[in-house]
Chain A
Amino acid sequence: MSGSATTQRTLRLEGIGLSVGYGGSTVLDNVDLAIPTGEITILIGPNGCGKSTLLKAMARILTPTRGSVLLDGKDIHRLDTKSVAARLGLLPQGPIAPEGLTVRELVAQGRFPHQTLLRQWSRTDEDAVNGAMDIAGITDFADRSVDTLSGGQRQRCWVAMVLAQETDLILLDEPTTFLDLKVQVDLMDLLAGLAHQRGRTLVIVLHELSLAAAYADYLVMMKEGHIVATGTPDEIFTAGRLKEVFGLDAKVLRDPDSGRMVCVPSGTRMRRAAPVTAQ
């Protein structure tokens, strides 16, 4: 695993002293977050902890009440939003495609930041769309309507749309929600490949703790508008932290085969299974 301390590459995206509030209540309170380049950063925390808000502020679609987000050293909220979109892609939570839109048409919308009034569609756009569909594995149903696809296929289409944007930085808000576990794993594999093989920098808000521990290079734990802990899963994904952040009683085990951390929650009324016997 590549620890954040060992890979000090140029910092592309950084939040400094971010505070966000809605109508009197504070959702984010003086949060600092530096995103390690070329790695997967995963934000976890209980509902309402401000992880989605932090992602939106980093993606410049929410303006912080205090503090700033720096994209390549410049205040992202002062940059031209279309030029930001050529460098930073965002997949919000639960996006909905207009009825009847085909997969290819959806993915093509990702080219918007690269188009102007005079240059509407070019060979470069075409190649970017085909390439994105190829990586996301959706080329086979390029001409089908998005709303005829399964949840997992649909989410791949949205990832492809963000890929067609051809940005080094990609921010995703709960991309695996409502998907089957197998489909979640496939999608996370796809995203991990983007970071580790194609050098993209990913920031992902996730709900699934074990999935977060399995895929994060850099894990960020949040609670009540603050960042509680940051580091590799090995460093911070512990039973004590889970209790502290989520109020969750759980064991954190290390899978003997992969060496990954797994979270096993313990509820008071869970079934006590008989001791496992070898087959």
Chain B
Amino acid sequence: MSAIAAPHAGTHPVRAWSGVPVLLGVLLLAFLLHIAVGAKQLSLGTVIEALFNFDQTVFDHVIVRNLRLPRAVLAVLVGASLSLAGALMQGVTRNPLADPALLGLTSGAAFAVVIATSVLGLSSMVFIPWIAMLGALGAALIVYLIARLVPGGATPLSLTLSGAAISAFLSAVISVVHLLDQDTFENLRVWLTGGLAGRDITLLLYVGPPIALALIGGVLLAPRVTVLAMGDEVAQGLGVKTGALKIQLLAVVVVLTACSVALAGPLGFIGLVIPHIVRLYVGSDYRWIVPYAALAGAIYLLGVDTIARIAIPPREISTGIITAMIGAPLFVQLVRRRTR
């Protein structure tokens, strides 16, 4: 990451964009590496060959195409989504501790998926992303309505507090569902710790397009987020329609968070920490934080998932556990080095 050599390069677009090709290079490398390592080690050459010159009679090529490539794509999408959503949330709420889980989005999505699959017995994967989105949006609306009832209205503080309360409540309900229904518990146990293993890859077909649209939308809206972070009145004075912008940003965050939950379960840490790591290098202008956070989030999840797959062979650790176990010390170290 030290390759981004232009800290606080906000108003010098040429310098500020200079880190992008570097990160894209790192992303490509992490992507290929993620595919190459595993129970059967493949050479990078084999991986590239399988990607660009596929031969279905070669067993290694089949492994790459059918098993490993989808999982790597999943890691890129989920990592980028959670990190970008977290960056947007931190900007809109002016809360450095904000993450995609803040307004109850993650637990709302998880709750809806759990209820749909266990209580309603829904098994078709096609609907999972939409159910997750409905759950996330529903939770966000409830959080907002509760915050409105607080004297003083929906302030960042009242939103955060009611978000925490709703999240805790929904998590408790998910636990109750588990205790009552041992079978679904077994099915969802791994999913709820967050992970990329054994995902139904056909989900990508349904979740990929909305995620791609939301990622593009997030990057396009990013310059306005800095203006919005200076307060509603400043933003309105500069000609930003703050109400419409907040709804657009909420839509982007809901889509990214819900689709990530549908794909990989409620993965924590990435949305909170990756934007802060990016901030250490590119400064506080969301124009740069947002695109860099998406790239860094994708790289991070690829790296973490690679480790999750090879740490204790032949078993695999849940990615959601590794994200924080590796990420927390890494984050502390980075902050210490930058502030010294």
Please give me the residue from chain B that is nearest to A120 by CB atom. Answer: B13
> Inside 8 A of A96's CB, which chain B residues have their CB?
94, 230-231
Asked whether A92 lies within 8 Å of B231 as measured between CB atoms, the reply is yes
Nearest Cβ distance between residue B274 and chain A, in whole angstroms? 16
> Inside 8 A of A106's CB, which chain B residues have their CB?
230
A81-B239, A89-B237 known; A95-B10 Cβ under 8 A = no
A105-B283, A108-B11, A121-B11 known; A98-B237 Cβ under 8 A = no
Q: How far is it, in angstroms, between the C-alpha of A129 and the C-alpha of B11 when the chains are bound?
A: 10
Our pick among A56, A90, A99, A129 for the contact of B284 (Cβ within 8 Å) is: A99
A92-B237, A113-B238, A120-B223 known; A102-B230 Cβ under 8 A = no
> Inside 8 A of A108's CB, which chain B residues have their CB?
10-11, 285
For residue B8, CB closer than 8 A to chain A, the reply is: yes
A98-B91, A100-B284, A165-B238 known; A105-B229 Cβ under 8 A = no
Asked whether A86 lies within 8 Å of B223 as measured between CB atoms, the reply is no
**Range for the number of chain A residues in contact with chain B:** 35 or more
Q: How far is it, in angstroms, between the C-alpha of A83 and the C-alpha of B240 when the chains are bound?
A: 10
Asked whether A112 lies within 8 Å of B230 as measured between CB atoms, the reply is no
For residue A72, CB closer than 8 A to chain B, the reply is: no
Q: How far is it, in angstroms, between the C-alpha of A125 and the C-alpha of B227 when the chains are bound?
A: 16
Asked whether B11 lies within 8 Å of A104 as measured between CB atoms, the reply is yes
Nearest Cβ distance between residue B88 and chain A, in whole angstroms? 13
For residue A110, CB closer than 8 A to chain B, the reply is: yes
For residue B183, CB closer than 8 A to chain A, the reply is: no
Q: How many B residues touch A, CB cutoff 8 Å? A: 27
Our pick among B234, B236, B238, B284 for the contact of A105 (Cβ within 8 Å) is: B284
**Highest count of chain B CB atoms <10 Å: which of A92, A99, A109:** A109
A104-B11, A121-B11 known; A82-B234 Cβ under 8 A = no
For residue A97, CB closer than 8 A to chain B, the reply is: yes
**Highest count of chain B CB atoms <10 Å: which of A83, A106, A121:** A121
Asked whether A109 lies within 8 Å of B233 as measured between CB atoms, the reply is no
> Inside 8 A of A100's CB, which chain B residues have their CB?
279, 283-284
Asked whether B11 lies within 8 Å of A112 as measured between CB atoms, the reply is no
Q: How far is it, in angstroms, between the C-alpha of A24 and the C-alpha of B279 when the chains are bound?
A: 45
Asked whether B238 lies within 8 Å of A109 as measured between CB atoms, the reply is yes
Q: How far is it, in angstroms, between the C-alpha of A100 and the C-alpha of B238 when the chains are bound?
A: 21
> Inside 8 A of B11's CB, which chain A residues have their CB?
104-105, 108, 121, 125-126, 129
> Inside 8 A of A162's CB, which chain B residues have their CB?
237
A108-B10, A108-B11, A121-B11 known; A101-B285 Cβ under 8 A = yes
For residue A59, CB closer than 8 A to chain B, the reply is: yes
Map CB proximity to A onto B195-232 as digits: 1 under 8 Å, 0 otherwise. 00000000000000000000000001001101101110
Our pick among A82, A90, A102, A125 for the contact of B233 (Cβ within 8 Å) is: A90
> Inside 8 A of A105's CB, which chain B residues have their CB?
8, 10-11, 226, 283-285
Asked whether A99 lies within 8 Å of B96 as measured between CB atoms, the reply is yes
For residue A183, CB closer than 8 A to chain B, the reply is: no
Our pick among A59, A99, A109, A126 for the contact of B227 (Cβ within 8 Å) is: A109
For residue B246, CB closer than 8 A to chain A, the reply is: no
Q: How far is it, in angstroms, between the C-alpha of A109 and the C-alpha of B230 when the chains are bound?
A: 9
For residue B241, CB closer than 8 A to chain A, the reply is: yes
Nearest Cβ distance between residue A88 and chain B, in whole angstroms? 8
Map CB proximity to B onto A137-157 as digits: 1 under 8 Å, 0 otherwise. 000000101000000000000
> Inside 8 A of A98's CB, which chain B residues have their CB?
91, 94, 226, 229-230, 284
Asked whether B284 lies within 8 Å of A95 as measured between CB atoms, the reply is no
Nearest Cβ distance between residue B248 and chain A, in whole angstroms? 14
> Inside 8 A of B8's CB, which chain A residues have their CB?
102, 105, 143
Nearest Cβ distance between residue A188 and chain B, in whole angstroms? 21
Asked whether B13 lies within 8 Å of A112 as measured between CB atoms, the reply is no
> Inside 8 A of B241's CB, which chain A residues have their CB?
81
Q: How far is it, in angstroms, between the C-alpha of A120 and the C-alpha of B17 when the chains are bound?
A: 13
Asked whether B285 lies within 8 Å of A90 as measured between CB atoms, the reply is no
For residue A229, CB closer than 8 A to chain B, the reply is: no
> Inside 8 A of B234's CB, which chain A residues have their CB?
90-92, 95
> Inside 8 A of A61's CB, which chain B residues have their CB?
233, 236-237
Asked whether B283 lies within 8 Å of A81 as measured between CB atoms, the reply is no
Interface residues of A (CB under 8 A from B): 56, 59-61, 81-86, 89-92, 95-102, 104-106, 108-110, 112-113, 115, 117, 120-121, 125-126, 129, 143, 145, 162, 165
A-B contacts, 9 of them at CB < 8 A, read A60-B236, A61-B237, A83-B239, A85-B238, A95-B233, A102-B10, A106-B230, A108-B11, A109-B227
Given contacts A56-B233, A82-B240, A98-B284, 10 further A-B contacts (CB under 8 A): A61-B236, A61-B237, A81-B236, A82-B239, A85-B238, A92-B231, A98-B91, A108-B285, A112-B224, A162-B237
